[in-house]
Chains A and B, each alone.
Chain A
Amino acid sequence: MTQPLPDPASPTTYSAPPIARVRNVTKTYASAHTSVTALQDVDLDVAPAQMTAIMGPSGSGKSTLMHIMAGLDTPTSGRVLIGDREISALDDDELTKLRRRKIGFVFQAFNLISTLTVIDNILLPFELDDRKPTTQEREWVDHLVARLGIDHRRDHRPNEISGGQQQRVAIARALATRPDVLFADEPTGNLDSRSGREVMRIMSEAVRDLGQSIVLVTHDPLVAASAGRVVFLADGRPVTELAGTFRAEEVAQTMLDLESDAALDSESDVETGTAHGSHVVTSATEVEAP
């Protein structure tokens, strides 16, 4: 586990060691007749205390990459590390424990248990861990609840609060255990633009003020613009990235270029009638959120 890792493909240098590492990860889905490559030989380092956005046309493998980084799916080959822990070798029990303690999740919809109150939803990770939160953790949760502006909603049920508030509860739950990494999959996908901006502001603050590491999957350039770094995937591998200061327009332009490349590619396939390498772009959609 402590053996030296090869240099990441990305030339960016970090002051602190990466919080999550992906090495030579390939993921293929084999069915009876076809084999589909969703990820191909991906290398990626995620810096701590930063928001890393993953973007790409649909079918580019971004959701698959996130699932694999979060230990929800296993790579066909390659290694995945959270901190110094190689998670691609863990069994289901250990992965479950890892998700409970080291990883937070926020996604598009259906984030909360409808029968639980807001505060019970937030404390759920502790309950699943069969323990009561310590005084310190309790204070932390109170702090989060106050900070996210859901204090007065503590005893409400999810269906009694707005979508934006539900998403804030989901963020509070994800942050309650102070996870190493927070994974967010289209966290604003179901929200109106105002609530969406609010949610992104909260996530940015979590990075800035709490030093939270976040991996964000999105197709929305405005959302991605809140990130410190945007990695673009196409055809199952990172093709380019933006880092430092950039604007939503640049993100949008890069996305447009990628989409038109993909469109051109598939057109030329039709014209020449040749098979397109070993991977099929559209076929990864079955693992993507629609």
Chain B
Amino acid sequence: MNPIREIRANPRQFAPSFLVVFIAALFGTAIMQGIGILSALMRSAEVVSGSDTATVMIMVVGMTFFLIALFVSSIVIANTFSIIIAGRSRQLALLRLIGASTKRLRRSAGLEGLIVSIPATLAAVVVSTGLALVTLGLLGDAVTADPGVGSFQMFVPAVATIVVTWYAAFLGAKRISGISPIEATSQAVEQRSEDARSSKRSLGLALVLLTLGLIMLGGGAFLGFALSNPAGLLIATPGGACSFLGLIIGNAWFLPPLQRFTGAVMGRSAATRLAAKNIDRHPTRSARTVIGLIIGITLVTMFATAMTTFRDQLVSYAQSLGQEGFEIVEDALMQVIDRTMLFFLGMVAFSVIIAVIGVVNALTLSVRQRTREIGLLMALGQSPAKVRSMVLGEGLQLTAVACLVAVPLGIVYGWIGALAVISPLTGFFAPSLPWWVLGVVVLGSLLAVALASRAPAKAATTINPIEALEAV
């Protein structure tokens, strides 16, 4: 009810939101301050007059990645709040019963988000500014111009993070309007199954965006390799964004069947089946957990595929020209491309980290809300090891679904991007797969989720069956 009281009563449930806000705000502020220092350095050295253009370019790229990280954060935060609200539905029903309006309850849930985001963002600003000052100290006399590390625009991303968190918490609290005051009057209420699908309108929008996006993607690639027109990228890029947005909006429609599929494939042991059932019971929540990971992994795969393909094609094109002494240029070129790729991957890594936190957070809260059920399972003779593998299985299944969608999607996006850019020179080609990046991102996220799910798994097995069954 009173947001501060809620946070004080149970601060731990807000820890993941705090962390996510911190990372997003740190990322945004560090980009701004880093660019500030960089351009100050260039101005001090009186490098090219075109340094302003370069600064703007870097700024645009950096801010794009920040916005992506912020978007993923907002999904994670909205999901966190919707799970917190689900766990609190009993109390909310009581408040509804004695006369609290849904509007008011939602507003105060939003305020909880605001209150969590402010210290997290402040911490991020302090850390980032500290890093910037250390960097400036190390650069010493090389920077004579004012980098403006403390100026107002440095903190615009931080403010944006706060606003987005506030709104995401409000959105996540949407289910409050579905809580009936009657739920408070009876002794035991089974949690209603959530509505599996979002509205038909969102499906329609998703399909339109997807179709439009696919047409533009195909058109862009076709312009490149068939008509040798280098303008393809200008069509393919918005096409990619469009289709991806379509998938994100329509996630509640296409992810649950996929989740069911991986659940069936993962095996038939009791633990895996229970894990699959848990995912299936909250299709929307699971889909939202997964979509954050999908965004991150798709972007990683896309950049890696595009860059690797681009590099390979460029090299083979140069070789086909057969010029002497090209090796030196070739090496330099490959280095530049690889470094650019690493830079992009580093930028996207923030989104992947935020999404992994989201998965672990969903697991933690889902274990906490199933205290009774897990207690019952253990009373019926489920061994702690099996309970742990159930939690682990849930996390791995969610991650597997994300990889299953994101890797092919990223490859196609990256491939089409490369086609649009370079096929006017080389003609049609197949994508070169960045195996090590794919391996690292898939195994890395599976491993990160597996490791991080040990805490909720342990929490699940420390549940005392007797207490769990008594707790109402």
* A113-B91 contact given A67-B185, A72-B182, A108-B187, CB 8 Å threshold: yes
A63 adjacent to B95 (CB under 8 Å) = no
Q: List residues of A (276-290) whose CB comes within 8 Å of B's CBs.
A: 287-290
Interface status of A85 (Cβ within 8 A of chain B): no
Cα A108 to Cα B100 with chains together (Å): 20
User: Interface segment, B1-9, B238-246, B316-324, B387-395?
Assistant: B1-9
- In the complex, number of A-B residue pairs with CB atoms less than 8 Å apart: 82
Q: List residues of B (70-102) whose CB comes within 8 Å of A's CBs.
A: 90-91, 94-102
B104 adjacent to A128 (CB under 8 Å) = yes
Q: Which of B8, B94, B102 contacts A111 (CB 8 A)?
A: B94
Interface status of A77 (Cβ within 8 A of chain B): no
B90 adjacent to A110 (CB under 8 Å) = yes
Interface status of A35 (Cβ within 8 A of chain B): no
Interface status of B49 (Cβ within 8 A of chain A): no
A109 adjacent to B96 (CB under 8 Å) = no
Q: Which of B99, B182, B185, B188 contacts A100 (CB 8 A)?
A: B99
**Residues of chain A within 8 A of B230, CB atoms compared:** none
A290 adjacent to B185 (CB under 8 Å) = no
Chain B interface mostly helix, strand, loop or mixed? helix
Q: List residues of A (152-199) whose CB comes within 8 Å of B's CBs.
A: 173, 185, 189-190
Q: Which residue of A lies closest to B181 (CB)?
A: A72
**Residues of chain A within 8 A of B182, CB atoms compared:** 67, 72-73, 287
Q: List residues of A (87-120) whose CB comes within 8 Å of B's CBs.
A: 92-93, 96-101, 105, 107-116
A189 adjacent to B187 (CB under 8 Å) = yes
A110 adjacent to B100 (CB under 8 Å) = no
A110 adjacent to B98 (CB under 8 Å) = no
**Residues of chain B within 8 A of A190, CB atoms compared:** 187
B187 adjacent to A109 (CB under 8 Å) = yes
Interface status of A124 (Cβ within 8 A of chain B): yes
Cα A67 to Cα B8 with chains together (Å): 34
B331 to chain A, nearest CB (A): 64
For chain B, the count of residues having a C-beta within 8 Å of the partner chain is 27
Cα A34 to Cα B268 with chains together (Å): 36
Interface status of A129 (Cβ within 8 A of chain B): yes
Q: Which of A92, A100, A287 contacts B98 (CB 8 A)?
A: A100
Q: Which residue of B lies closest to A93 (CB)?
A: B101
Cα A289 to Cα B186 with chains together (Å): 5
**Residues of chain B within 8 A of A112, CB atoms compared:** 94
Interface status of B329 (Cβ within 8 A of chain A): no
Cα A110 to Cα B182 with chains together (Å): 13
A280 to chain B, nearest CB (A): 20
For chain A, the count of residues having a C-beta within 8 Å of the partner chain is 36
* A63-B97 contact given A115-B6, A115-B9, CB 8 Å threshold: no
A277 to chain B, nearest CB (A): 26
Cα A100 to Cα B101 with chains together (Å): 10
- Type the 1/0 row for B33-68, where 1 means its CB is closer than 8 Å to any CB of A: 000000000000000000000000000000000000
Interface status of B184 (Cβ within 8 A of chain A): yes
**Residues of chain B within 8 A of A72, CB atoms compared:** 97, 180-182, 185
Cα A288 to Cα B99 with chains together (Å): 22
Cα A288 to Cα B188 with chains together (Å): 10
B99 adjacent to A99 (CB under 8 Å) = yes
Cα A184 to Cα B26 with chains together (Å): 53
Interface status of B265 (Cβ within 8 A of chain A): no
Interface status of B472 (Cβ within 8 A of chain A): yes
Interface status of A125 (Cβ within 8 A of chain B): yes
B12 to chain A, nearest CB (A): 14
A113 adjacent to B187 (CB under 8 Å) = no
B99 adjacent to A185 (CB under 8 Å) = no
Cα A109 to Cα B184 with chains together (Å): 9
B100 adjacent to A128 (CB under 8 Å) = yes
Cα A255 to Cα B5 with chains together (Å): 46
Cα A231 to Cα B472 with chains together (Å): 31
Q: Which residue of A lies closest to B104 (CB)?
A: A128
Task: Return 6 A-B CB contacts under 8 Å, by A number.
Answer: A99-B97, A110-B184, A111-B94, A127-B1, A128-B95, A290-B186
Q: 11 extra interchain contacts, Cβ-Cβ under 8 A, other than A99-B98, A99-B181?
A: A67-B185, A108-B185, A110-B90, A115-B5, A115-B8, A124-B95, A128-B100, A128-B104, A185-B185, A190-B187, A289-B186
A-B pairs with the 8 shortest C-beta distances?
A100-B99, A115-B9, A289-B186, A99-B99, A128-B100, A96-B101, A107-B185, A72-B182
